[in-house]
A and B are shown apart, each in its own frame.
Chain A
Amino acid sequence: MSESGNDSGKDSTRSNPAEGVRTLVIERVFPHPPEKIWRALTEGQLLQEWLMKNDFQPAVGHQFSFRAMPVPGWSGVIECKVLVVDHLRKLSYSWGTLGLDSVVQWTLTPAEGGTHLRMEQSGFGPDREANYKGAKYGWQRFIGNLEHVLDELV
């Protein structure tokens, strides 16, 4: 999906062990006011500069996509839908690619000298696959079982 980023040590990254492979959190304090960060998160042109090409609109229910360079086996398209727009505080959208549904949530909190930005990606979130084509096996359940399989591998 991308070149591996240099680990600057500025972030705190963690996954919730209880959630297994399901949640990723990245946090960083930026020496900028929330207004500026909010613009970078919600203005399509700015968003493209640091994340990906997109047709994002800060409106709940808006469906959009992020487009990265396609690679063999991956179209480079991430299908999204805006879930939460809480001006200067919270932004969340679904993030679906490769048959995996997750939710990306941004939280801005004023901090000393700037803004604390938190990104939480909960993988395998609301599982829409269970609701169409009569599919009985959603990712959530599959991953639940997968964890048992993986436990046995270790």
Chain B
Amino acid sequence: MQAAANNVFRALADPTRRAIFEELTRRGEQTVHALTRYAGVSQPAVSKHLTVLKRAKLVRHRHEGRETHYRAQPDALAPIVDWLDHYGAFWRERFDRLESLLERMEP
């Protein structure tokens, strides 16, 4: 799997982060406060999750006054679309290896 896909998968492997990301895709830009209310975990926890999402380029933020606003960057999901291709290549290569192993094995 390519590195970009790894990052995205890893960022979204956590259910709370998926929930936050989904909420942002559904409702558009939101403040950390609003997201904290929604996620039902502490604000530091939400901030941590947002940092991971940001690193995977899944969200962007901007400051406005004292508030930080986050919005989803759905384009960053594109590598996930490729995951099947990667798994497909992986398995085809393994099928080739299986074939050569079968050739070498005793009948």
Q: Which of B10, B22, B99, B102 is close to A98, meaning CB atoms less than 8 Å apart?
A: B10
| Contact indicator per residue, chain B 81-101, by CB within 8 Å of chain A (1) or not (0) | 101101111111111111111
Interface of B is mostly: helix
Q: Which residue from chain B places its CB closest to the CB of A41 in the assembled complex? A: B98
Q: Determine whether the beta carbon of A145 is less than 8 Å from that of B22.
A: yes
Known pairs A36-B105, A40-B101, A73-B3; A3 contacts B12 (CB<8 A): no
B residues lining the A interface (CB < 8 Å): 1, 3, 6-7, 9-10, 12-16, 18-19, 22, 25, 74-75, 77-78, 80-81, 83-84, 86-102, 105, 107
Q: Determine whether the beta carbon of A98 is less than 8 Å from that of B89.
A: no
A46 interface contact, C-beta 8 A: yes
A residues lining the B interface (CB < 8 Å): 1-8, 10-11, 13, 15, 21, 24, 26, 28, 30, 32, 36-37, 39-40, 46, 49-51, 71-74, 98-100, 117, 119, 121, 123, 129, 133, 135-139, 142, 145-146, 149-150, 152-153
Known pairs A1-B1, A26-B91, A39-B105; A99 contacts B12 (CB<8 A): yes
Q: Determine whether the beta carbon of B92 is less than 8 Å from that of A11.
A: yes
Residues of A within 8 A of B19 (CB): 136-137
Q: Determine whether the beta carbon of B105 is less than 8 Å from that of A40.
A: yes
Q: Determine whether the beta carbon of A121 is less than 8 Å from that of B91.
A: yes
Q: Determine whether the beta carbon of B105 is less than 8 Å from that of A24.
A: no
Known pairs A6-B96, A145-B22; A153 contacts B74 (CB<8 A): yes
Q: Which of A28, A36, A46 is close to B95, meaning CB atoms less than 8 Å apart?
A: A28
Q: Determine whether the beta carbon of A3 is less than 8 Å from that of B88.
A: no
Q: Determine whether the beta carbon of A37 is less than 8 Å from that of B102.
A: yes
**Shortest CB distance A35–B (Å):** 9
Q: Determine whether the beta carbon of A73 is less than 8 Å from that of B94.
A: no
Q: Which of B3, B15, B95, B99 is close to A138, meaning CB atoms less than 8 Å apart?
A: B15
When chains A and B are docked, how far (Å) is the Cα of A26 from the Cα of B105?
Answer: 22
Q: Which of B22, B83, B105 is close to A142, meaning CB atoms less than 8 Å apart?
A: B22
When chains A and B are docked, how far (Å) is the Cα of A13 from the Cα of B91?
Answer: 10
Residues of A within 8 A of B1 (CB): 1, 74, 98
Q: A8-B96, A50-B98 are known; give 12 further A-B pairs, CB within 8 A.
A: A2-B93, A6-B92, A13-B88, A26-B92, A72-B6, A73-B6, A73-B7, A99-B12, A99-B14, A145-B25, A149-B74, A153-B78
